[in-house]
Amino acid sequence: MRIRMIGAPMDLGADRRGVDIGTSAIRYADINDRLRTLGHSVKDMGNLLIPQPESQPLGNPKLKYLEPIVRVSEELANIVTSILQEGEFPLILGGDHSIALGSISGVAKVHKNIGVIWIDAHADFNTNQTTPSGNIHGMILSALAGIGHSSLTNVGGWQPKIHTESIVVVGARDLDSGEQALLREHSIHVFTMSEIDQLGISEVMRQALTIAGDHNDGIHLSLDMDALDPKEAPGVGTPVRGGLTYREAHLAMELIADSGKLISMDVVEVNPILDRENATALLAVELVLSALGKKIL
């Protein structure tokens, strides 16, 4: 596989600072060389230039930093589209989860019918009408589905980027009430931690891959490190107890790799300021490796 990696050190979509240095932490955890050890070629494009919150007006408190987030999303989308058109695999490092607006928009411009597996403690399916915080990282999946403020839904010039029936959320355990209503209204497939407890991660991922991977052009994986339990991944901005274990997360990645359907990936929300000895970034690299083919034997 020819991998093209791009860092998107976005720190505008969430309240807690620090995810802008997540890209550096992941690189420090030796992601480039470890991917090459698997036999992949890797070209690291460095980071997008993203303004700091201190230099930008907050704007609408229900859509904080909307304009710079949209600008960066447009730029990232164009880069991801170019990577795919050159026959390479885009791997995008965050940054907060608002970067997925750009990464998935870029994929959808090339692959019109993609499925999305969104592994996250949160569904990120709020809009400016339902958000309790105004943080845009919590509105990205809905925007990609064409739901929400037009500035977000129209990144790239069209909507929706993904069809609701091809979206799967895995690991959810912290959903806002308005978000819950939207998820039900649009029949989004959500596998909560309760369902993972009951069915097991292997069965959940089998169903998720069927939903996201059937009758489309491949799967984009969006991995938020807060999907894991904080004992495994302490360095995230919005930790929620009761998340995926180390082995559950690895098995999920291994099953995605085995499917042969993965065409692009982003990994987000590594916050080194809140981490312990770079443990979360190291784990993020391990999970990327598993998603891209590393096996125990």
- The set of catalytic residues is 97, 120, 122, 124, 137, 224, 226, 269
Amino acid at 124: D
List the structure tokens of 115.
């499925």
Do the beta carbons of residue 23 and residue 274 sit within 8 Å? no
Do the beta carbons of residue 258 and residue 156 sit within 8 Å? no
Between CA 81 and CA 32 the distance in angstroms is 21
Between CA 261 and CA 90 the distance in angstroms is 14
Rounded to 5 degrees, φ, ψ at 148 are 125, -160
Residues 243-272: b if buried by 16+ CB within 10 A, e if exposed = bbeeebbbbbbbbbbebebbbbbbbbbbbb
Amino acid at 1: M
- Whether the bond between 68 and the residue before it is cis, its omega within 30 degrees of 0, is no
List the structure tokens of 113.
């019918």
Element spanning 288, H or E: helix 279-291
Do the beta carbons of residue 245 and residue 231 sit within 8 Å? no
Three-state DSSP string of 209-243: HHHHHCCCCCEEEEEEHHHECCCCCCCCCCCCCCC
